[in-house]
Amino acid sequence: MLDKRKFYINGQWVEPSSKNDFDVINPSDETVCAVISLGSQADTDAAVAAARSAFPSWSISTKADRIVLLERLYAIYERRMDEMAEVISMEMGAPIDFAKSSQAPSGTEAIEDFLNQLRKFEFEKQLDDSDNQLIYEPKGVCALITPWNWPISQVALKVIPAIAAGCTVILKPSEIAPLDSMIFAEMLEEAGCPAGVFNLVNGDGIGVGSQLTSHPDVDMVSFTGSTRAGALISHNAADDFKRVGLELGGKGANIVFADADEKAVKRGVRHCFNNTGQSCNAPTRMLVERSIYDKAVKIAKETAITTKTDIASKEGRHLGPLVSQLQYDKVQTLIQAGIDENATLVIGGTGKPEGLEKGYFVKPTIFADVNNEMTVARTEIFGPVLSMIPFDTEEEAIKIANDTPYGLENYIQTQDQERAKRVSKKLLSGVVEVNGKGLALGSPFGGYKHSGIGREGGEHGFNEFIEVKVVTGWS
């Protein structure tokens, strides 16, 4: 068991101001894998004060200095990649091969992306042929609150652009999966990050989270997590007009037209189950044109049958556990709701897979004959649960896809490129993925409606941490 009861404040590891221990649970076997401390108001105040003190000098540091820091960080991260993957696998249940291929490398991808953005960004430029000068300045002291499902990805997508822009930060990672963030803090320390530029305080949302979002010396809050928490954070930040960035939930529709390629349904099921369904952009509603609906249900069932579930430390392609008992109970309740509302249970259901009685494991589950009013079609389940809905026309598919409070990412499967373009323009979401083509490095990620405010990644993600000033009479 790891003892991680320290915070990183003002360039050094410090003891918490009071004892408030929290057990980090390995979801594969329900054992305690680490102990952290939850911060108090005094810890939060110390971290904010350190960031506020460091801001004047860091905000006017040169672009070259920031580039050097991030280049050093990249090299250190590469060296410790396997360690990062192992910690993520242990703390949140990502299968080790998946942690090594996708979870851990998302950190270096973010560093590479924002190094590209920083190298080409002009912090001062003339507005056309006028005497107006545009000056781009950092937003200030930023509170960054990150989730457990893609932990280091979200940490890097916030911390890197913030410090690249000249902001100083206080990171509060999820208390459920905080260990990757503590390794990241060690990396920044080794890279020579100046004292106070980056600070880390562990805590829960009610404690450190609320303290940061209402703190008078915090200028901006960037949060990834549930829509409910996002609304509370917005209220907290409103009194003193903090800048707020939110990346929240989703209930993505995957529209499979009759002319979709032969692998479209299988690809959609695997994408839904990826990360054990614990992704906000998971395509959890599969809308299938009625003429191929029965065939699609059969393919989906066959795909689920071949989907294995096992402990996270085991090599190979399989699903790991859900992250916690709370998450397990929630998913079980929602699966039961699908059964109670008379959706057709194709495969899976409540309870744990055979042979996996210990750990937060869930059966890969598929419901057919779902309508868009059912709980499983409207609620973000955050587990390996797919709802299949038939449709007759393109217009009906678009109407069903948009009939949700969310608008993060939707999917289209068709060989008709004109249809793909036409439908993508009518879908209310920040991202539309066509035929399994993923996002390029530097693409902005974020949503419409209840899925959030702002974007992460690329130029748009960098600009989230920038204020724009206009100076006239510049010569």
Angle ∠(413,415,419) on CA atoms, nearest 5: 80
Pairing of strands 431-434, 452-453: unpaired
Outline where 166-244 has alpha helix (H).
179-191, 210-213, 227-238
Beta bridge partners of residue 138, listed in sequence order: 466
Average pLDDT of span 183-206: 98
Terminal Cα distance for the chain, rounded: 62
Tell me the pLDDT band of 475, cut-offs 50, 70 and 90.
Answer: confident
Average pLDDT of span 149-172: 98
- Give the list of residues 6+ apart from residue 129 with CB closer than 8 angstroms, or none: none
Q: Is 30 designated active site?
A: no
Cβ–Cβ < 8 Å for 447, 430: yes
Q: Is 247 designated active site?
A: yes
pLDDT tens digits for 135-151?
999 999 999 999 999 99
Q: How far is CA 35 from CA 15, 19, 31, 147, 449, in A?
A: 13, 12, 11, 18, 37
Count of residues in the chain: 475
Q: Is residue 1 predicted with pLDDT exceeding 80?
A: no
Pairing of strands 385-391, 285-289: parallel
pLDDT tens digits for 338-373?
999 999 999 999 999 999 999 999 999 999 999 999
Is residue 6 classed as helix, strand or coil in its secondary structure?
coil
Q: Is residue 36 predicted with pLDDT exceeding 80?
A: yes
Q: Is residue 99 predicted with pLDDT exceeding 80?
A: yes
pLDDT tens digits for 271-320?
999 999 999 999 999 999 999 999 999 999 999 999 999 999 999 999 99
| CB-facing half-sphere around the CA of 145: CA atoms within 13 A | 30
Q: Long-range CB contacts (< 8 A, 24+ apart) of 77-84?
A: 77/107, 77/108, 77/111, 77/187, 78/108, 80/183, 80/187, 81/105, 81/108, 83/183, 84/152, 84/180, 84/183, 84/184
288 burial (CB, 10 Å; 0-12 / 13-18 / 19+) is: buried
Q: Which of 280, 380, 456, 464 is catalytic?
A: 280
Cβ–Cβ < 8 Å for 338, 346: no
Look at residue 299 in the predicted model and tell me its pLDDT. Answer: 98
Report d(CA 276, CA 389) in Å as an integer: 21
Q: Is residue 53 predicted with pLDDT exceeding 90?
A: yes
Look at residue 229 in the predicted model and tell me its pLDDT. Answer: 93
| Dihedral over alpha carbons 461, 413, 331, 205 (to 10 degrees) | 10
Q: Is residue 8 predicted with pLDDT exceeding 80?
A: yes
Cβ–Cβ < 8 Å for 146, 155: yes
Look at residue 394 in the predicted model and tell me its pLDDT. Answer: 98
Reading the block at residue 4, the tokens are: 């991680």
Q: Which of 91, 247, 409, 456 is catalytic?
A: 247
Is residue 295 classed as helix, strand or coil in its secondary structure?
helix
Average pLDDT of span 111-117: 98
Mean pLDDT of the chain: 97
pLDDT tens digits for 382-431?
999 999 999 999 999 999 999 999 999 999 999 999 999 999 999 999 99
Q: Calculate what percentage of the chain has a pLDDT beyond 70.
A: 100
Report d(CA 70, CA 68) in Å as an integer: 6
DSSP string, 415-443: S-HHHHHHHHHHS-SSEEEETT--PPTT-
Query: From edge to edge, which strands make up the β-sheet containing 21-26?
Result: 2-4, 31-37, 21-26
